A and B are shown apart, each in its own frame.
Chain A
């Protein structure tokens, strides 16, 4: 912890000295770019420019450059990664329309994990104020942990369409990842836990009519 008796200027000097990326440049992003060759810098800036041109935030892309440099990835790997991320962000925006930047980021991660763009379709129209951030986060995680893409997609989509809230998604994830870390097959773990998840957590307006049987999920 920083002793309170230190003067502010000394604090700043200590803090700045501890950040190698800031040695020559005020902006860590500029410093990160400076470590790459001219061709790669140009290629990256082209992507940034494209992103801004189509109204996408470049924050995520800049972060990826910084991450790549800190992970000592090769310049070409960084360029490729930034391009792919931009492509996924653009696709996510095409499928979802005007949603928050966070949701776009999370949805692009779902695509990057391997889901098909069409699978985002169900998340486009939604009740006002309802965010899919938790749903997308869990979805990407499940695929990354080994749940087959189709199964993860249909499970998450069905939950969403049934009106599941963030807590439902989160608790599903908690259970599934605990099962997987104990050795259970990821796909099986998901199926088990989905069966346990309350069906049709919807508002009265969209309840099924009397007498209609609630279908169980696969």
Chain B
């Protein structure tokens, strides 16, 4: 039995503190996805709180033969989607800021990529569905089958989304490069 399954068993047997082990194991990784997906820490924290609470309440539905991370991520992806839907206006804010940045005299920030904010701005330019697919593929490094199980979207549709996300990024590079 994996650590995850063992901890789940403990919680179901009444040991609430065993849940802290699961939170510790997955929080940072989930936080990375949520922040990249939602573009700001406040929204990300809301998504994470909701995710871990929902996961706790639904623990008796977790099947041991499934990977706990996949099961947890399904909840996380869904929480991020609903929070993003409720706060759609923020994406527009990012795009405007990005335009200012592109026109700024000092371009060093745009090139180095050392800046977390820079990555957020770039990701925020992507349509949420494309962003989600890109993150699941390249940051979470899931297979298309795993992504499909997580999101309920077909494999070919997901491949298309990842490809389009990469196309957009490439186009962005072309634009920046030629300025």
Contact = CB atoms under 8 A, between A and B. Distances in A.
Direct contact of A and B (CB under 8 A): yes
A45 B65 contact: no
A34 B63 CA distance: 8
Nearest to B83: A53
B54 A30 contact: no
Interface residues of A, number: 18
Contacts of B152: 42-43, 46-47, 79, 83
B66 to A, nearest CB: 5
B9 interface: no
A50 interface: yes
Nearest to A50: B78
B9 to A, nearest CB: 15
A30 B82 contact: no
A83 B75 CA distance: 17
A46 B70 CA distance: 12
B60 interface: yes
Q: Dominant SS at the A interface?
A: helix
B33 to A, nearest CB: 16
B82 A39 contact: no
A30 B60 contact: yes
A27 B63 CA distance: 13
A205 interface: no
A57 to B, nearest CB: 16
A49 interface: yes
A38 B65 contact: yes
23 contacts: A27-B60, A30-B60, A38-B65, A38-B149, A39-B148, A42-B66, A42-B70, A42-B71, A42-B152, A43-B149, A43-B152, A45-B58, A46-B78, A46-B150, A46-B152, A49-B74, A49-B75, A49-B78, A50-B78, A50-B82, A53-B78, A53-B79, A53-B82
Chain A to chain B: the 6 pairs with minimum beta-carbon distance, closest first: A43-B152, A53-B82, A42-B149, A39-B149, A46-B152, A49-B78
